[in-house]
Structure 1
C-alpha cells in the first residue's frame, strides 16, 4: 500500500480533465456560384473531380518543340527547385512534431571527482562514475502536441500545393513565352514578305525612272517604304531575341547556349472544357494552398488555447553509479527512479492571452487571404472566357478585313503596272494589307495566350482536352 501511495499523484495527473481543446470555428468563406457568367456554345461543362489528372496539358497544342521545352523546365527550372526544397523543409518539421509526441530516450555517462558532504568519503576527494538511460514522455492531455502536429502537416500540405502552383505557373510561362516567340516569327515573316515586295517594286520603279517614265520622287517614296519596313524586321528580331532569352531562363539553361530556329507556327488552338466553379476550387493549387494555410491557422489557435492548461511529463531513469570503474556495472551499483511533473503557470503578465489573440488574428488574415484567392480564381476564369469569346468574333472580323485588303492590294498592283493609278495608291494599298495581316496575326497570338491563361486559371489541363480536336470553331 505504501508503494501504491507514491503513484497517486501520477494517477491523478493522468485523469485530469483529459480532453483536447476544441478548434475555433472558421471565418465565413465564399460560396461558389452555380455557373460562370461567361457562357458560349464553344465551351462545355466539365464534371467536377478533385483528383482529375492535370496531365501534360501543353500537348494539346500539338507542338513537339513546346513539349520539349515544358519537360526541360519541369526538370531544371530554379523556381520549381526552390519550391521543392521548401516542401522538403516543411515535411521535416512534420517529422519533428511527430517526434515530440513519442517517448524520448537517451543514454549518458558521467565521471566526477570532488570532496564534500555529498561524497561517500566525506572531506576526502573521491571519484563517482555514473552510466544510465533516461526516458521522458509528455502526456498530451489537452491536445497541445496534436495541434502542433496538425498545423505542421497542414503547412506541409500548403507547401505541396504551392509546389504544384509553381510548376503550373512555370509551365504556363514557358507556353506563353514560346507562343509569343512563334507569333513574332510569324509577324516577322509577314513584314519580311512585304519588304521583299517593296524591293521588287523599287527595281521596277528604278527601271521606269531610268527610262524617263516616272519622276525621282517615286523612287524615293519606294526607298522610304522599303527602309521603314526593314527597320520593322529588325525590331521584331530584337523582340524575338528577348523572348528566346526568357525561355532559356525558364528552362534553367544559360542564355548563351540556348537557341530556337525560326519556324512558322505549327501549333493548333485547342478547345479546353471550362469546368464549373467547384472544379476550379478543387483543382487550382494556389487555392488549395490557401485553404491548407487557413486550416493550419485554425489549428494554431487551438494550440495557443492549450497553453492555458497544465502540462504533464513523465520521467524515468535507470543506470549504475560506483566510485570504481570495475564495480560500475555490478548489480549492487544499480540505481533507478521515476517521476511525474505537472506544471501550470499562475501569472504570466498576459502572455498566453496575447498568444491566443495573435493566433486568432493570423486565422482571420488566412481567411481573408483564402477569400481573396477564391475571388481571384473566379475573376481570372471569367476574364479568359470573355477574352476567348470576344477574340473569336474579332478574328472573324479581322479575317474579312484581311481578305478585302489583299484584294485591294492586288487590284492596285495591276492598275499601277498598267499606268492607271499613281504610286501613292499602290503604297497605300500595301500599307493597309500589311497592317491588317499583322493585326490578324496578333489576334491569333492573343487567342493562344488566352487559352494558356484559361488553362492556368482552371488549375491545369485534362486528358480530354489533349485529345480534343485542335481546331478553331
Structure 2
C-alpha cells in the first residue's frame, strides 16, 4: 500500500517536472525603430583641411579605450579627466547603484538553490483527541517537545516564475551598468566643456587686458594733446570713459571666470578653495568628428542600451506575472531529533524526519483572488509598453542631438570664416580712423566707434572659438563618446 502511494506521488512529481521547462515569459525582441540611412547634416559637414580627425576607440585596444578627449591634444584636459573619474561624487553614486543592482541580482539567483537551515528549541503543544485516535474524554495533557533539526525547501520552477525574476534582475543590473557609463560620459563631456569655457574666458581676459593697456596709452596721448590745447576736454572725457568701461568689463569677465573655475572644481570632486586652474587662453579647436551611420548609435550610446535593458527587465516581469496563474510546487523537509525530554534529545531513538510542508500545501494554485493576479499582469504589460515608448524616444533624441551637433559645427565653421573677415575689416577701419584723426579729418568720436568695433568683433571671434570647442564635445557625447557595448562591465569597489 505504501509503495503504491509512493509510486503515485513519484508519477505526479515526474509529470510536474516534465512541464517545468514551460516558461511563461514572452520572447524578448528589441522593438524596431526607424533609423535614417544617413544623417542629414553629414553630407554638408566636410572635414576642414588640416583638422584632426576623431576616431572611435578600437574595441580590441584595452589600454586607451574611451579616452576621446585626447583628440584635443591638451595635457591639462587629460589630467582633469583623470581627476574627475577618480573623485566625482555623482559617478561614485552611480557605481553604488550598480553594486545595489548586482546584490539584488544575487538575491534573485538565490531562489534557484535549495534553502537550508538549522534550528533548535522547545514547543509546548496539546494535540486533539481526534488526531490521536482516542475518545474525547480520554486524558490528554499538554506536553513539551524538544527539537533539533535541519530544514530544507526548494521551489520547483514549473512555469518559469523564478527564471523570469532572475532574468529581470540581470537586465536591471545591465541597465544600471549602462547608466553608469552614461553618467561617466556626461561627466567627461561636462569637464571638457567647463574647461573650454574657462579657457575662453582666459582669452577674453587677455583681449580686455590688451584693450585696457591700449586705451591707457591712448588716454595719455589725448591728455597731452588737451594740455597742449590741440583738442577739447570732450575728447579727454570720452577717452577716460572708454578706459573705465574696458576696466569694468575686465572685472566682469574675472567674476565669470572665477565662477566657471569653481564649477569645474566641483566636477572634479574638489572644494573650490583647493583648486586653481592656471590661465591659458583658448586656441582655435580644429577637430572633425565623423558621424558614422545612425544605426551605430543603437550600439554606441549607453543611454540607449540602458533603455533597451529596461525593456528586457519589464518583459521578464511579464513572465513572472503570468506564472502566478499556474501552480507552484515547493518541496520541503526536515531531518533531526525530537524528544519530550531535553536529555534524550540526541538519542538515536529520538531521530525524526518530515517530508512535505510544515504548514500549507506542497502544490498550490489560487482559485479566486479578486483580480489581483490579472491586475499584476496588466501592470507588467503596461510597464513594458511604457519602456518601449521610452526606448524609441531615447533613440529619437539621440538622432536629434547628433544632427544638432553636426549643424552647429557646420554653421560655426562658416560663421568663424565670416567673423575673421569682420575682424580684419574692423582693424583696417580702426587704423584708418587713427590716421584721419591725427590729420584732423575726423573727430575723436569716430576713433572711439572704430575702437569699439574692433573690440566687439575680436570678442565675438573668441566666443565663437569657445562655442566651437564645446559643440565638438557635445557632438562626441551625442555619438556615445568612447563607450562601446563591449565595455558594459563596471568595476565597483
TM-score by length of 2: 0.88
Check whether the contact 2:197–2:260 (CA below 8 A) recurs between aligned residues.
yes
Q: How big is the shift at 1:314?
A: 0.5
Alignment of 1:382 with 2:403, yes or no, is yes
- Residues 242-253 of structure 1 mapped to structure 2, 5 A cutoff: 242-253=259-270
Check whether the contact 1:320–1:328 (CA below 8 A) recurs between aligned residues.
yes
Q: Partner of 1:207 in structure 2?
A: 224
Q: Give the whole-Å Cα distance in 1 for the aligned partners of 2:177 and 2:316.
A: 18
Q: Give the whole-Å Cα distance in 2 for the aligned partners of 1:22 and 1:167.
A: 33
**SS at structure 1 position matched to 2:151:** strand
Q: How big is the shift at 1:165?
A: 0.2
**SS at structure 2 position matched to 1:37:** coil
**Residue by residue, what CA displacement relative to the aligned partner does 1:264-311 show, whole Å, maximum 9, x if unpaired?**
225843222222112211011001000000111111111111110000
Alignment of 1:98 with 2:109, yes or no, is yes
Of 78, 87, 95, 1:84 maps to 95
Q: Partner of 1:111 in structure 2?
A: 122
CA distance 1:305–1:46, change in 2 (3 Å) = farther
Q: Give the whole-Å Cα distance in 2 for the aligned partners of 1:34 and 1:404.
A: 43
Q: How big is the shift at 1:3?
A: 3.1
Q: How big is the shift at 1:113?
A: 5.3
Q: Partner of 2:23 in structure 1?
A: 20
Check whether the contact 1:248–1:258 (CA below 8 A) recurs between aligned residues.
yes
Q: Partner of 1:400 in structure 2?
A: 421
Q: How big is the shift at 1:153?
A: 0.5
**SS at structure 1 position matched to 2:332:** strand
CA distance 1:76–1:113, change in 2 (3 Å) = same
Q: Partner of 1:2 in structure 2?
A: 2
CA distance 1:74–1:48, change in 2 (3 Å) = closer
Q: Give the whole-Å Cα distance in 2 for the aligned partners of 1:147 and 1:14.
A: 22
Q: Give the whole-Å Cα distance in 1 for the aligned partners of 2:290 and 2:465.
A: 20
Q: How big is the shift at 1:134?
A: 0.3
Q: Partner of 2:163 in structure 1?
A: 146
- Residues 179-328 of structure 1 mapped to structure 2, 5 A cutoff: 179-265=196-282, 268-328=285-345
Deviates more, 1:92-101 or 1:259-268: 259-268
Q: Give the whole-Å Cα distance in 2 for the aligned partners of 1:222 and 1:174.
A: 41
**Residue by residue, what CA displacement relative to the aligned partner does 1:135-158 show, whole Å, maximum 9, x if unpaired?**
000000100000000001001100
Of 33, 41, 46, 1:41 maps to 46
Check whether the contact 1:381–1:454 (CA below 8 A) recurs between aligned residues.
yes
Compute the RMSD of aligned alpha carbons.
Answer: 2.6
Q: How big is the shift at 1:62?
A: 1.5
Check whether the contact 2:25–2:164 (CA below 8 A) recurs between aligned residues.
no
Consecutive unaligned residues of structure 1, counting only runs of 5 or more, are: 464-473
CA distance 1:259–1:34, change in 2 (3 Å) = same
Q: How big is the shift at 1:29?
A: 3.3
Deviates more, 1:142-151 or 1:408-417: 408-417
Q: Give the whole-Å Cα distance in 1 for the aligned partners of 2:365 and 2:47.
A: 66
